[in-house]
Amino acid sequence: MFAIIRTGGKQYKVAQGDVIDVEKLAGEAGAKIEFGEVLMAGDKIGLPLLAGATVNAEIVKQFRDDKVIIFKKKRRHNYRRKKGHRQYLTQVKITGIKA
């Protein structure tokens, strides 16, 4: 069985045993968390959320993603700006789905 959850402004299709990277969540490695915003679970579809449905997960690690370079340039104006950004992420393992 799979579910579609919403966290960090994004939607993820997950099944039991999946390991996914999501926007940073509070907690240390090994902590148990619960996603309450379940949009779909199996063949049940929420309008917009499923009442009473939850997805349980365990935090695997906290880390930062690869660097993304932001480069702006305006030709013939000697204008160049270069910035880098590394997003904070949390890796979670899905342990159970309750519809």
Q: pLDDT at position 99, please?
A: 84
Judge contact between 88 and 38, C-beta under 8 A.
no
Tens of each residue's pLDDT in the chain, 99 residues: 899 999 999 999 999 999 999 999 999 999 999 999 999 999 999 999 999 999 999 999 999 999 999 999 999 999 999 999 999 999 999 999 998
Q: pLDDT at position 72, please?
A: 98
3-state secondary structure labels for all residues of 5-56: EEECCEEEEEECCCEEEEECCCCCCCCEEEECCEEEECCEECCCCCCCCEEE
Q: pLDDT at position 81, please?
A: 98
Q: pLDDT at position 55, please?
A: 96
**Cβ count near 97 (within 10 Å):** 21
